[in-house]
Amino acid sequence: MEQINRISIKHWAIDDRPREKLLHKGKDALSDAELIAVLLGSGTTTQSAVDISKTILSHVNNDINELAAMGVKDLTKFSGIGEARAISIISALELGRRRKTNGANTRPTVRSSQDVHTILKEHMMDLGHEEFWILLLNRRNGVIKKTMISSGGVAGTVVDPRIILKGAIEELASGLVLAHNHPSGSVEPSEKDLKLTKNIAKACEYLDIKLLDHVIFAQENYFSFANAGLL
């Protein structure tokens, strides 16, 4: 029988090796088989990782969705695929599925005080005590994170500006929105609210963080510092 001499991937031209190709040309330059080969890491004595990947893809008509439906037992039927490699393939495809699912829930963006109200009203409605929240934003005003800073009584809650700014710095936020509720039902800002907002706005300037708004919630009504020209 004629012996077939296969060239190991390590002897291929650098740009033809999946890992090196990704490093030099980017992930978009890799075929589906090459991406799977990266997951496999290596081939067998008779097949390269790319050859194994092509065999698997051929079995599912090159349909990644069909491949994603396969289990560990299905994948281990292929030569060169053990349990560990099967798990690697399944895990990578599951991450892709989750990314696609999460992509449907696009990151909320703050373009106005109404957006702030929409994003935080579920946290602020019907509270019998005062809470203080912040929205941390990226350069496009997309919400990176929403966080409750403090929770207090009916008359107010203690807010430490250092905690607010610390959170913004840790998340590398470019923008910041302040929000709290008034259980009394009044949306008018107190002297304390005005002073706190002024102090935080001043600190944000030094940190190159834009304070977009401070919104006070009172059931369905709200007050926006930005809309009132107080920022």
Pairing of strands 210-218, 175-181: parallel
Query: Which value, to the nearest 10 degrees, does the dihedral of the CA atoms of residues 76, 82, 83, 89 take?
Result: -80
Q: What CATH number belongs to 113-224?
A: 3.40.140.10
Q: CA–CA separation, 47 vs 52, rounded Å? A: 6
Residue 4 pLDDT: 45
The rounded distance, in Å, linking the Cα atoms of 175 and 94 is: 33
Write down the pLDDT at residue 2: 43
Q: What pLDDT score was predicted for residue 6?
A: 53
Query: Which are the contacts of 192, defined by CB distance < 8 A and separation ≥ 6?
Result: 156
What pLDDT is stored for residue 158 in this prediction? 72
pLDDT of residue 12: 53
User: Would you state the pLDDT for residue 198?
Assistant: 94
State the Cα–Cα distance between residues 72 and 86, nearest whole angstrom. Answer: 5
Query: CA dihedral in degrees (17, 23, 29, 33; nearest 10)?
Result: 40
List, in sequence order, the alpha helices (H) in the chain: 18-25, 32-40, 49-59, 64-68, 72-75, 83-104, 113-124, 161-170, 191-206
Q: How many CA atoms lie within 13 A of 5 on its CB side?
A: 1
Provide the edge-to-edge strand list for the sheet that holds 221-224.
143-151, 131-137, 175-181, 210-218, 221-224
Query: For domain 9-104, is the CATH number 1.10.150?
Result: yes
pLDDT given at position 91 = 94
> pLDDT 10s per residue in the chain (231 long)?
344 445 455 555 444 577 888 887 888 888 899 999 999 988 888 888 899 999 999 999 999 889 988 999 999 999 999 999 999 999 999 888 777 766 555 678 999 999 999 999 888 887 888 999 999 999 999 999 999 998 876 556 778 889 999 989 999 999 999 999 998 889 999 999 999 999 999 999 999 999 999 999 997 899 999 999 998
What pLDDT was estimated at residue 41?
87
Domain limits of the chain? Answer: 9-104, 113-224
- Nearest-angstrom CA–CA distance, 172 and 175: 9
